[in-house]
Amino acid sequence: MARSAANEIDGPREREDANDVNNETNLSTLALSITGLTKRFGSGDESVLAVDDVSLDVKRGTVVGLLGPNGAGKTTLIKCALGIVLPDAGSVRVFGVDVGDGRRAAYADVDAMLEGARNDYWRLTVRENLRYFATIHGVDPNSVSARHDRLLERLDLTEKADTPVRDLSRGMKQKVSLASVLAGGADLVFLDEPTLGLDVESSRTLRRELRRLAHEEGLTIVLSSHDMDVIEDVCDRVVMMAGGRIVADDTVEALLSSATRETIRITSPDLDEAVVETLRESFAVRHVEDLHDTSLAGDHAHGDRDADAAVNVGEGVGSDGGVDRDQNLVEERRTVLEVDVAGDALYDLMETLREAGVTIETIDTVRPDLEEVFVDVTGMEAGAIDGRGRSP
Ligand X SMILES: Nc1ncnc2c1ncn2[C@@H]1O[C@H](COP(=O)(O)OP(=O)(O)OP(=O)(O)O)[C@@H](O)[C@H]1O
- CB-nearer residue toward ligand X: 48 or 200: 48
Stretch near ligand X under the rule CB under 6 A, chosen from 74-82, 263-271, 280-288, 314-322: 74-82
- Nearer to ligand X by C-beta: 69 or 141? 69
Vertex 253, ends 250 and 256: CA angle to 5°? 90
Name which of 187 and 192 has its Cβ closer to ligand X: 192
Find the binder of ligand X among 62, 75, 125, 129 (CB under 6 A). Answer: 75
Residues facing 237 on adjacent strands: 64, 251
- Let me know: does 52 contact 244? Beta carbons within 8 Å: yes
The DSSP 8-state label assigned to residue 4 in this structure reads P
CB 43 within 8 A of CB 65: no
- Give, as ranges, the residues between 42 and 71 that touch ligand X (CB under 6 A): 42, 48, 50, 68, 70-71
Measured between alpha carbons, how far is 221 from 111 in angstroms, rounded to an integer?
Answer: 10
Minimal distance in Å, beta carbon 68 to ligand X? 5
Asked if residues 186 and 163 have their Cβ atoms less than 8 Å apart, the reply is: no
Q: Which stretch binds ligand X (CB under 6 A): 2-10, 72-80, 105-113, 173-181?
A: 72-80
Q: Report the nearest approach of ligand X to the CB of residue 392 (Å).
A: 24
- Separation between Cα atoms, residue 87 and residue 82, nearest integer Å: 11
Toward ligand X, which CB reaches closer, 76 or 205? 76
Count of residues that interact with ligand X, criterion CB under 6 A: 12
225 binds ligand X (CB under 6 A): no
Q: Which candidate, 277, 240, 273, places its Cα nearest to that of 373?
A: 240
Residue 307 is given by DSSP the state G
Given the complex with ligand X, which of 246 and 329 has the nearer CB atom? 246
Distances from the Cα of 114 to the Cαs of 111, 117, 173, 193, 333, in angstroms?
Answer: 10, 6, 14, 7, 46
* C-alpha to C-alpha distance for 144 and 188, rounded to whole angstroms: 18
Among 14, 15, 17, 41, binds ligand X (CB under 6 A): 41
Q: Name which of 126 and 384 has its Cβ closer to ligand X.
A: 384
Q: Which residues bind ligand X (CB under 6 A)?
A: 41-42, 48, 50, 68, 70-76
